[in-house]
Structure formats: structure tokens, C-alpha cells
Chains A and B, each alone.
Chain A
Amino acid sequence: MSQEVIRSTVVPVIYLLSTILFIFGIKQLAKVKTARRGNAIAAVGMLLAIIGALLELGVVDYRWIAGGMLIGTIIGAVFAIRVQMTSMPEMVALFNGFGGIASALVATSVYWDLVVQQGPAGKVYEALGTDEAITVMLSILIGGITFTGSLIALFKLQGKLKKGAPILLPARHYITFVLLFASFAFGGIAVTAGASDSVVWVLALSAVSLTLGILLTIPIGGADMPVVVSLLNSYSGLAASMAGFVIGNPLLIIAGAMVGAAGLILTQIMCVAMNRSLLNVLVGGFGVADGASGGGGSDEYTSVTSCGPEEAAMILENAESVIIIPGYGLAVAQAQHAVRELADMLKARGTKVTYGIHPVAGRMPGHMNVLLAEADVPYEELLEMDVINSEFKNTDVVIILGANDVVNPAATKDPSSPIAGMPILNAHEARSVFVVKRSLSPGYAGIKNELFEYDNTMMIFGDAKKVVQGLIGEVKDL
């Protein structure tokens, strides 16, 4: 078969097959029973796509391709095998960043090859074609923002950068606006410039894009990370799609657009779960400006009851039903295995144990589900907010592990609260509530949690894992 036939017929068919596999893969990935197979199907689609790309190239110098793939495979595999389940948000953020920068690099490489290295003396849009020239600039912009944005998100998730707190520059909205305008201007100038003049503008565009990624992410606080991580996921798809326009490959356009849409939906789900608009999250600084003055009453706690594991175990002894509400504190303390152990002991005593999962608990969509799955908690026991909220009033004991704002009754009762209207888990309706927490320090919203003062609430101060292990010891002795 001639290379001609391979390029015009065989490769497009392979790409089409690959597209179909991606669609089936994502579809199955969205159902619990078929998810693992869906992931495998998508991976086969990717393998086919790479085979297609190599066939399309024909006989070339494969050394750099093989070397790059080998290095990438080793690094990717080491990351994927070694990462702890508690670090999954960091991992996803990092991979998003790699996807974004790869797309920007592809576009820059195409530009450099066709314009700078072998380009004619004319304008950039003549050397590349107008459409391609514009999408090169868009790829650099979106890919650059995705890359540095993801790195900042990664640092924030690791607790670096002011422990993940928002960093608010003065006049940051103006700076962002000016930079965004500058990026369009630089991109526009680069498209219409002569080949040799355009280099400086493309470099300027790259620099502005990378800066924008940083500036757009630093004002966003740690607990808003589920929104940011899903949005960056969407961007990485969009960047791939733009790269598809640059090289005229529909497979990239389709796969990128599907990932972009999926990321947007997750972003939307996260925003709804916090009762905030996407714009409100992106503007950032939540709870910083109005935290001190927001809400009714003072921030001081007056009537907090606390107890130790012994007392809690005695109440647990007589409980017929227990709901565990995990939050970010559970991830920090790596308490998921201890929690499972405690739940097993309670179940052995005939107690019904379920878990109430708030959609934005943790630092990434589905964070708690992954952690508890790692500890072999059956996913049937993890109940969504809408399902479990009617159960609380018939529940004997609720154990809150490292969650705060998502169980604050002020969200439903106090219209002046900064978190008013945010859907919460109605933990306060249970007969007894144990709040396991290091201290009375406020959660992300920066406000006090009136649940801690309720008569049916008892605080157990300490690290989530140590407290749960203490409870296990006490329950064992019953």
C-alpha cells in the first residue's frame, strides 16, 4: 500500500475508530459498573490514535519520538503507581497542567517550523494560513494559562503558598483585564506581522499567558479548589481542541471538545453545591473581605461541650444508626482506614453505618469517595446529600470528621450569613452529633459554626485519625 493511500484512507479510518472508542469509553466511564472498562476502551482509542499518527508520518527519524514517549511513559507510570490516594487532587492538577502545556508546545513548534525555520519572507498568516495562525495563538494562550494555573493549584493543594489561602493583589481585576487584553493584542499583532518580527510577539504572548494562569489562580482559596481543578480540566481539553485546529486534525478537535464539555459540567456541579456562581469563585477571596463582619452575632463560642473518646463510645454503644460525615480533615489526617475499621466494629455490633458525602467535601470532585474506596468502604454506603438529608432526623449519632462549613446550619437559617443558601448536610437534626476537629478555628468561609454550640453537639478535639483510633479502642472494650 502506498503512503498516499495510507494517508488519505487508512489513517482517517483509524482516527474515526479512535473517536468512536473515546465516545464509548467516556460513556461507560460515567457508570459505576462499567467505569473501569470504559477507561480501558478510551486507552485503546488513544493507542490507535498514536498508531494512526505514526502511520501518517511515514518513514521519518523516529529517535526523538521514541525517546520522548519512553521518557513520558516512565514518568507518567511512576507518578500513577506511586501517588497516594490522598494526593489525588494534586495528581489530577499536575496532569491537567501537562496536557495544557503539551498543546501550547505543539502550536509553538508548528509556528516555529513553518514560519521561523522554513518560512517564506511573507506574513505569518500567509505562511501558516489565517485560521491556523489564529488558533496557534489561542493554543498558546489557553495552554499557557492551563499550565501555570495548574501548577499554582498544585502548590495550593500541597498547602504551600500561604497554606492555600487566597492571595489578593491590589487592583488584581484591572491587572487581569489588562493582561487578557494584551494577550489578544499580542496574538493579533503576531498573526499579521512579518515572519521575523513575529517571534518577539509570540514570546510576549507566551509570557503573558503564563502570568495570567498564575494571576487567575492565586486569589482562589483552598476549599474552592474542586471548582478550579475541574475548570482547568476543561481548559486542558479546550487547548487540545485548539491544537487540533492548528494541525487540521478532527480527532483532536473532537476529543478536546468532549473533555472541555465534561470539565465544564463538573465545574457547574461544584458551583451549584456551593450556591455560588462561577464568576464569584473565579473572582476569588471568598470569606476574606466579609468574613469578619459577615453573619449574625459574634465569632466567639460561648457554650461548647467537649468530651473524650470514652464518653463518645458509650453513646455509640447504644446507637442503632450512625452517619459519618467526612471532610478535608479526614484526608489531611489520612484517617480513612481507621474510619473503615470503626465502621466495621459498629456494624458487627448491629449498628447501621452510612456515610454522608457533600459534593464539595475535600479538594476535588469526588475526593471523599476515592479516599473511602481506598479503605474498601463499599460505595453503596456512601450517600449523596439529597438522599441522606431526610435520614438525619431518624439517626442516633452523626460523626463529623474534619468537615465544617458543609454542616453549618447558618447556611439555611441565617440569611445574612456569607454561606446563606449553600446546601448543607442536616447533621444537626440527629440525636447526637460528634464533631471531631483540631480546634474551634473557623472553616474556609471564615465564620463560626453554630452547630458546635447546639445542645446535641459534642466536640472531640484532636487529629481525626488519632480520635478515631481512640474510639476504636474504647468500642473494643465495651
Chain B
Amino acid sequence: MTLGPLLIGIYVFVLAGFVGFEMITKVPPTLHTPLMSGANAISGITVVGAVAAATTGAPTVANILGALAIVTATINVVGGFLVTDRMLRMFGRKKPKALKAETAGVPTEGREAVSK
């Protein structure tokens, strides 16, 4: 038996899918949102393909599409990881001491929400 690249790819795809299932099955509801946004950031891995699609400065269609892919995938990656961290930081601060240390960096965040 010899496996072509497509079949190897499908093997990898199926096995990785099982790994994903196994890792997520018992996740507590508290983490549903951060998990989703963290996983979403990981789906920005497309950026790896996108950089290879905009390698000349020439304004060709392929390059423009590639550059747009880089922008959207990077938004997904940077925004996704940052917003997940912001949420998880809130979950972490339960003791009053930790609360002060954590909110020092983002002083106005909570107040904005109250005043609106």
C-alpha cells in the first residue's frame, strides 16, 4: 500500500478531529465562550497559507487576494487570542488582592459598562 499526499492528508485530518473531540468533551460551561474564541483564534492558522500568497509587491489579483487573506487571518489571530485572554483574566481574579493587580492595567473597563 502506498499513500498519496491526499490520503495522508485525510488520515491526518480524521485523527486530528478525534484529538479535538477527546480534548473538549468534558469542558465546564464556564469555559464555553473562551474556548470558542480561543479555538477561533487557532483557525486563523490560515495566515500561514496567506503569507505564501502575497510574496511579490506586484498588484496582481493573486497578490491582492493574498494580502486580504493576511489582513483577515491576522485580525482573527490577534483579536482572538487577545479577547480570549481578556475574558480568562476576569475568570482568574477572584481574590481581592488579585483583583487589584489585574484591574490596574484596565482601569476603566468595568466602569464603562456600568455607566452605559
Q: Hey, which bits of chain A sit against chain B, CB under 8 A?
A: 22-23, 25-27, 29-32, 35-36, 38-40, 42-43, 45-46, 49-50, 52-54, 56-57, 60-61, 63-65, 67-69, 71-73, 75-77, 79-81, 83-86, 88, 91-92, 95-96, 98-99, 101-103, 105-106, 108-110, 112-113, 116-117, 131, 229-230, 233, 236-237, 239-241, 243-266, 269, 334, 336-337, 357, 359, 364-367, 369-370, 373-376, 378-380, 382, 384
The residues of B that contact A98 with a CB separation of less than 8 Å are 44, 72-73, 75-76
**A-B pairs with lowest CB-CB distance, top 4:** A72-B74, A261-B20, A366-B32, A68-B70
Given contacts A102-B76, A337-B110, is CB(A52)–CB(B48) below 8 Å? yes
* Complex Cα–Cα for A105 and B69 (A): 5
29 CB contacts below 8 A, A to B, read A38-B38, A43-B41, A46-B42, A46-B44, A50-B51, A61-B56, A69-B47, A72-B72, A80-B78, A88-B33, A92-B33, A95-B76, A101-B72, A103-B49, A105-B69, A105-B72, A117-B62, A243-B46, A245-B6, A249-B49, A250-B12, A252-B46, A253-B16, A256-B43, A259-B42, A264-B21, A365-B29, A365-B36, A369-B31
Closest to B102 in A: A376
Q: In the assembly, what is the distance between CA of A83 and CA of B84, in Å?
A: 12
Q: Provide the residues of chain A in CB contact with B26, threshold 8 Å.
A: 30
Contacts of A36 in B (CB 8 A): 85, 88-89, 91-92
A interface, by DSSP: helix, strand, loop or mixed? helix
With known contacts A229-B36, A255-B43, A369-B29, A65–B9 Cβ distance under 8 A: no
A50 touches B13 (CB 8 A): no
What class of interface size applies to chain B in its complex with A? Answer: 35 or more
Q: Is the CB–CB distance between A95 and B20 below 8 Å?
A: no
Residues of A within 8 A of B89 (CB): 36
Pairwise interchain contact B48-A30, C-beta atoms closer than 8 A: no
The chain A residue sitting closest to B27, CB to CB, is: A30
Q: Look across to chain B and name the residue whose beta carbon is closest to the beta carbon of A108.
A: B65
With known contacts A105-B66, A262-B24, A366-B33, A65–B40 Cβ distance under 8 A: no
Within the assembled complex, what's the spacing in Å between the Cα atoms of A31 and B30? 10
Interchain CB contact under 8 A, B49 and A259: no
A31 to B35 CA separation, bound complex (whole angstroms): 10
What CA separation (Å) do A240 and B23 show in the bound complex? Answer: 19
58-88 of chain B: CB within 8 A of chain A: 60-63, 65-88
Q: A69-B47, A102-B72, A265-B25 are in contact. List 18 more A-B contacts (CB 8 A).
A: A29-B31, A53-B52, A71-B71, A76-B79, A88-B87, A96-B40, A99-B76, A106-B53, A109-B50, A109-B54, A116-B62, A131-B5, A230-B36, A239-B43, A255-B43, A259-B42, A262-B20, A266-B36
- Please, which residues of chain B bring their CB within 8 A of the CB of A56? 52
B: residues with CB less than 8 A from A are 4-6, 9, 12-14, 16-21, 23-57, 60-63, 65-94, 99, 110, 112-114, 116
A357–B33 Cα distance when bound, in Å, is 14
Asked if B38 and A258 sit within 8 Å, CB to CB, the answer is no
**Would B46 and A258 count as touching, CB distance under 8 A?**
no
Known contacts A98-B73, A259-B43, A373-B90; is A39 also within 8 Å of B48 by CB? no
A262 touches B35 (CB 8 A): yes
Specify which chain A residues have a CB less than 8 angstroms from the CB of B21 in the assembled complex.
261, 264-265
Complex: how many Å from CA A251 to CA B16? 10
Give CA–CA (A260, B19) in the complex, Å.
Answer: 11
